[in-house]
Amino acid sequence: MTKHMQTNENTWEIGGKRLSSRLLIGSALYPSPANMEEAIRTSGSQIVTVALRRQSANVKAGGDFWNIIKSLGIEVLPNTAGCHSAKEAVTTAQMAREVFGTNWIKLEVIGDQYNLQPDPFETVKAAEVLIKEGFEVFPYTTDDLVVAKRLADVGCKIIMPWGSMIGSGKGLMNPDNLIAIRKQFPELKLIVDAGIGKPSHATQAMELGYDGVLLNSAIALAHDPVKMADAFKYAVEAGRLGYEAGTMQQREFASASTPTVGTPFWHQFNEEV
């Protein structure tokens, strides 16, 4: 049995669900609904994020979109994209629970329209209310350790710090911050959300010990979204395998991989022959 096949047999738990894929994928920005469907299927992702506002914008278009999402047979993670206050996010989450029939919610409360940085104060406030109402909250936040602690304090079992600004494609701008959050909260499920631009970025996040990555633009805006979805599928698997195997420590000096003491075995073999 190949290692790839073994990886697919490894499952993990998040939000009360047991899954095999650690790639969470968005449903926006694709060239067409058919392209979105093919890319999501190819990615192997078992969680797709959906914006309530997009679903409700046009009844027919929303209905067609929702039918595609349902046909995928995977978990739906509604989000509160576009909200700028805790009150607005809570109301949107309540509506999403009715529309999509799930207590999962990706909590987004934007505090700055320029860089789409989440508002830490309103995010924590909304998370506390939603958790008391029985939601499984997936909060989108920055890579700030104190904010992560506040979210954990109000009951969040999942935290999703950004790699960098939404849609920037810059990758992990502050990996040391992400490492600090991982070390501080070994029992929480941590997902790197936003800023992932290349498959190598996803691999790096997984090598840090994160439980998964959530991305959208990197796949949807690629020249070939389906092929890019396939690339991210393997990138996430490779990163997780690397983390589980234990990557070698960096060194400040060179270390030859071939022994310099004694005779190389192939030289000795040639002499004997």
d(CA 92, CA 88): 6
Per-residue DSSP letter, 263 = -
Is 236:211 a contact under the CB 8 Å cutoff?
Answer: no
Copy the structure tokens of residue 58: 């046009």
Copy the structure tokens of residue 252: 């400040």
Q: How many Cα atoms within 13 Å fall on the side-chain side of residue 103?
A: 12
Q: Provide DSSP, 86-112.
A: HHHHHHHHHHHHHHH--SEEEE--BS-
Is 190:182 a contact under the CB 8 Å cutoff?
Answer: yes
Burial class (CB in 10 A: 0-12, 13-18, 19+), 41: middle
d(CA 167, CA 173): 13
Q: Which amino acid is at 245?
A: A
Which of the following is catalytic: 3, 87, 106, 227? 106
Q: Which amino acid is at 173?
A: M
Is 225:258 a contact under the CB 8 Å cutoff?
Answer: no
Active site (annotated) includes residue 87: no
Q: Which of the residues are catalytic? A: 106
